[in-house]
Amino acid sequence: MEYIKKYIVKEEHTDWQGNMEGLYYPYYLEDCRHAYIKEILCFDFEEEARNGISMVLSNYRIQILRSLKGGSNLSVSCTVFRDKSASTLLHFKQMITLRGKIVTLGLFSSTCTPSNGGRSFLPPSLNRLLSRVPLLETLSNF
């Protein structure tokens, strides 16, 4: 279930050297991940929040391998995995690529929580959809 979204690095996301500022790597990864969650997993953040369910990040790691420049045409991918030992966690492996070369790797872990507090969970609609999603064997590899 890989999802890919295309972007052009905005000039206002760059520093005085023309390199993309570090805070925008997670920005592009998040935008792609949220689109994936809404379009593929059919989890609408706003609607679910109105229903008392919040999807939240519990952990993330990003490895920047190469710098991006303003105006770069990049692709961001997102693939979901279930957790091997915690049934309430989802893991999203992500990559930013430029001309077929990996620029950034990311691993984001999420869960859902009741808006009024309580234990983490995955809603039944997500559990049904994710029943065929592969397990992430280890968190140590991207």
Q: What is the CATH number of the domain that holds 85?
A: 3.10.129.10
Average per-residue pLDDT for the chain? 94
Whether 139 is covered by a domain: the verdict is no
DSSP 27-41: HHHHHHHHHHHHHTS
Whole-angstrom distance, CA of residue 8 vs CA of residue 46:
26
Whether 40 has a pLDDT exceeding 90, the answer reads: yes
Whether 137 is covered by a domain: the verdict is no
Residue 68: φ, ψ to 5°: -105, 150
Least confident of 24-28, 51-55, 83-87, 101-105: 83-87
The model carries a pTM of 0.92
* % residues pLDDT > 90 (the chain): 83
Q: Which residues of 117-132 are buried (b: 16+ CB within 10 A; e: fewer)?
A: eeeeebeeebeebbee
- Give per-residue pLDDT as tens, 43-71: 999 999 999 999 999 999 999 999 999 99
Whether 138 is covered by a domain: the verdict is no
The radius of gyration computed from the CA coordinates of the chain, to the nearest angstrom, equals 16
